[in-house]
Chains A and B, each alone.
Chain A
Amino acid sequence: MTKIAFRFFIDYEKEEKWLNEMESKGFHFLRYCFFFYIFERGNPNTYTYGIELLEDMSHHKNYDYLNFLKDTDIEHVASWARWVYLRKRKEYGPLNLFTDLSSKYSHFKRIFTFQVCLLPIMIASFIKLLDLTWHEGDFFYVAVSVLYTIFLIFFTSNTIRTHYKIKHIKENMQIHE
């Protein structure tokens, strides 16, 4: 039996938390496509889910990395752009991806770069949308503009949050490993 859920996440840590909450209710995440999450019914508390933004664009290197994860009992469930959804059976222990400051730092740095690169595209489309709304002026465009504005505010604040996370880790790196 499968279940489909529609959700929209800007913060990947919240998404990860939600997937694990769904798991504890007996829904095992399987696929993601444009805000739709497909789950399969299963025993709760079987898996821990994790999300990572891969470092490389190269398929060969990603294949090598995902193979390495497989050898450490971490299963690759689904992909979306450079994001990967991973899971590990709880009986094999906790799902640890990054356990030191420097690897945590590079992961957040990767996410930050990813977000910053998306910002100009989003702002450009926002300006275009405002322009259209101004000239067309009908309810549909106004509604879309409002929604997009809310989205842009959340997205930007999340990018700023990522920046502060990086800053916090960097401060810690001066005294800890």
Chain B
Amino acid sequence: MPESHERMALTEAVFYILLTLKKPLHGYGIMQKVSEMSGDSVQLGSGTLYGAINTLLNKGWIKIHRQEGTSRKKKEYIITDEGLHIAHQELRRLQHLTTLGEDILGGKDND
């Protein structure tokens, strides 16, 4: 497992955003995709999403893909290589947790 400078769990919102941005999307598209992917169980609030996007841009995990026109500032975002790396790392962390959870709570040897 490649060790990164950060070994902290991502928030659910951030993990979802990184997943949706494998393809370029603008803010509204991210919200729709997240609710679609989660079967309507995760609804990202506009303020929460705006804050998360700015943090991810600052960290360089996502970048601006395209900006439409000048009058209407509709920006499209896409995941960066570093963002992909982080998402993979999170995936492994989650996999480890689910395996562990299944082993212990899964009922094979409940005592």
Report which A residues bind B (CB closer than 8 A). Answer: 52, 64-65, 67-69, 71-74, 94, 96-100, 102-103, 106-107, 177
Q: Which of A68, A94, A99, A102 contacts B27 (CB 8 A)?
A: A68
Q: List 24 A-B contacts (CB under 8 A).
A: A64-B73, A68-B27, A69-B46, A72-B28, A72-B31, A72-B49, A73-B28, A96-B43, A96-B44, A96-B45, A96-B46, A97-B45, A97-B46, A97-B48, A98-B47, A98-B48, A99-B44, A99-B45, A100-B11, A100-B13, A100-B48, A103-B45, A106-B51, A107-B47
Within 8 A of A (CB), among B6-23: 11-13
Known: A71-B27, A72-B49. 13 other contacts (CB 8 A): A68-B46, A72-B46, A94-B43, A96-B46, A97-B45, A97-B46, A98-B48, A99-B43, A100-B13, A100-B48, A102-B11, A103-B51, A177-B12
B28 and A71 form a contact (CB under 8 A) = yes
C-alpha gap A65/B47 in the complex (Å): 8
Report which B residues bind A (CB closer than 8 A). Answer: 11-13, 26-28, 31, 43-51, 72-74
CB of A140 to closest CB in B, whole Å: 44
B48 and A99 form a contact (CB under 8 A) = yes
C-alpha gap A65/B51 in the complex (Å): 9
Q: Which of A68, A73, A94, A98 has the most CB of B within 10 A?
A: A68
Q: Which A residues are CB-close (under 8 A) to B43?
A: 94, 96, 99
Nearest first, the 7 A-B pairs at minimum CB distance are A99-B45, A96-B45, A97-B47, A103-B48, A72-B46, A97-B45, A99-B48
Q: Which of B12, B44, B46, B74 has the most CB of A within 10 A?
A: B46
Closest to B26 in A: A71
Q: Which A residues are CB-close (under 8 A) to B73?
A: 64, 67
C-alpha gap A102/B43 in the complex (Å): 15
Q: Which A residues are CB-close (under 8 A) to B46?
A: 68-69, 72, 74, 96-97
Q: Which A residues are CB-close (under 8 A) to B44?
A: 96, 99
Q: Which A residues are CB-close (under 8 A) to B45?
A: 96-100, 103
CB of B19 to closest CB in A, whole Å: 16
CB of A51 to closest CB in B, whole Å: 12
